[in-house]
Structure formats: structure tokens, C-alpha cells
């Protein structure tokens, strides 16, 4: 950056004051929140994140110093540009799992198949009669996964993943607003292709990397963060 473009000390001070004011508004919103998903808290968080980012940039440009503030995911979600009063919404969820204990997974799937062979989807074992499918699930991870996710809701698998030999990876949930509900079957062939990031109202991310970043921080100050 050229000397002419350097921010002034007054601009840095003003940005610091903006962070302080945003902190007060965020704390006030948290103290007054009406529930876990209070939109006022989310709005105050976004204002605080934006103020902290401006201050951090000015501080670096002027004094070659940085802050301990970090906003996970804030660089990956553009400003909201969707309807102010959405009449429909889409909820997108991704959860990653490692098959940490294949034998446990196979055992659980075989138990399900033995209890209700008719419930085993033919495709879980690559086709064939339901009876032959039930006999295969205990030896095929592919078939076992089909049985497991055919029997249980995703939220139940998430809460019981260790029972099924699975290990949690990263997960994210996006809530996107829209004016109109899609027509039946309209997006089934490509369910994730038409989501505009600027219509995402909020997102919630879970990742071990956030814990690792906290562990590696030498400064005990907590970063400004929420699921986003």
C-alpha cells in the first residue's frame, strides 16, 4: 500500500471504538435473547465480526500489527441478498463420517436385516431378492450403509454414530431463504446445485479444526466465533 493510501491513526482509533460499541451491542443482544436461535444475536454477531475485521485490517496496514480475533467461516459466506420476508426456505445438511469400525457397522446392519428381512432394500446388496440381500449385509460395507441409513433417520445416526462404528468428521447446516417453494420433484436430480450463497440466512459449522485453533492460541483470549 502506498503512503498516500495509508489509513490515519484517527481511522484506526475510530475502528477500535466501533469494535467496542459492537461488543456492547452483542452482549446486550445475548443477555436479552429470546431463544437459542434469536436473530438479534446473529445480527449483532455479524456486526461485531465486520467491525473486528475492519479494525484488524486498519491496524495491520498502519502499524503492522494483528488482533487475536478470528471468525470461522466468515470469509466463505457473502452478504445476504435474499428476500426480506421469505415465504419458503431450504435446509441443507452435510455430515461426514469415517467408517472407523467396519465390523461393528456390519454387525449392526446384519442385526437389522435379521430382525426384518423384508425391510432390506434390494439396492443395499446390489440387487437380488430381499432374502439374499439380508444375507449379504453382514459382509458388505456398501450394503450395510444402505441398510443403516434406510432404517434410521440421519439425526438418530448422528446421535448414535459410535454404536454403528462411525466417527464424526466435519458437518454444516445451511438455511437458505427463497420467495417460492420449489415444485414437487423439481430439484431432486441435483438437490444442491441451485442454492445461492447470498440467500443463506445462517449456517452452522462443526469442525475439529476450531478446537485445534483454540489449543494452538498462545493468547488466552477467546476468538469471536459462532456456528456460521
**Which residue is listed with cell 469471536?**
224
**Which residue is listed with cell 440466512?**
201
Rounded Cα distance between 169 and 148, Å, is 18
Q: Which of 120, 107, 108 has the alpha carbon at shortest distance from 146?
A: 120
pLDDT at 37: 73
Checking if the pLDDT of 221 tops 80, the result is: no
Q: What is the pLDDT of residues 28-65, one digit of tens each?
A: 999 998 877 788 888 888 888 888 888 988 988 899 88
pLDDT at 186: 92
Higher pLDDT, 210 or 182: 182
Rounded Cα distance between 202 and 49, Å, is 14
DSSP 118: G
Chain CA centroid to CA 78, Å: 15
Checking if the pLDDT of 201 tops 90, the result is: no
Mean predicted lDDT score pLDDT of the chain: 81
Which percentage of the chain shows pLDDT scores above 90?
A: 39
Rounded Cα distance between 90 and 182, Å, is 9
Cell of 169: 468428521
Question: Under 8 Å CB-to-CB from 39, ≥6 apart: which residues?
Answer: none
pLDDT at 128: 47
3-state class (DSSP) for residue 94: strand
Rounded Cα distance between 118 and 129, Å, is 10
Q: What is the pLDDT of residues 84-130, one digit of tens each?
A: 889 999 999 999 999 999 999 999 999 988 887 776 655 444 444 44
Rounded Cα distance between 44 and 226, Å, is 11
Amino acid at each position: 500500500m502506498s503512503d498516500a493510501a495509508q489509513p490515519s491513526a484517527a481511522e484506526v482509533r475510530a475502528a477500535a471504538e466501533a469494535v467496542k460499541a459492537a461488543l456492547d451491542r452483542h452482549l446486550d443482544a445475548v443477555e436479552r435473547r429470546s431463544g437459542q436461535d434469536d436473530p438479534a444475536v446473529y445480527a449483532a454477531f455479524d456486526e461485531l465480526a465486520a467491525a473486528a475485521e475492519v479494525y484488524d485490517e486498519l491496524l495491520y496496514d498502519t502499524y503492522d500489527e494483528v488482533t487475536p480475533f478470528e471468525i470461522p467461516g466468515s470469509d466463505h459466506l457473502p452478504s445476504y441478498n435474499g428476500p426480506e420476508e421469505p415465504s419458503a426456505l431450504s435446509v441443507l445438511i452435510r455430515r461426514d463420517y469415517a467408517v472407523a469400525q467396519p465390523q461393528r457397522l456390519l454387525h449392526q446392519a446384519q442385526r437389522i436385516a435379521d430382525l426384518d428381512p423384508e425391510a432390506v432394500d434390494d439396492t443395499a446388496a446390489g440387487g437380488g431378492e430381499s432374502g439374499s440381500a439380508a444375507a449379504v449385509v453382514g459382509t458388505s460395507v456398501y450394503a450395510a450403509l444402505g441398510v443403516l441409513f434406510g432404517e434410521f433417520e440421519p439425526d438418530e445416526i448422528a446421535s448414535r454414530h459410535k454404536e454403528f462404528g462411525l466417527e464424526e468428521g466435519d458437518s454444516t447446516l445451511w438455511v437458505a431463504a427463497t420467495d417460492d417453494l420449489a415444485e414437487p420433484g423439481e430439484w431432486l436430480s441435483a438437490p444442491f446445485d441451485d442454492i445461492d450463497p447470498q440467500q443463506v440466512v445462517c449456517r452452522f459449522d462443526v469442525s475439529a479444526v476450531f478446537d485445534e485453533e483454540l489449543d494452538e492460541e498462545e493468547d488466552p483470549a477467546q476468538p469471536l466465533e459462532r456456528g456460521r
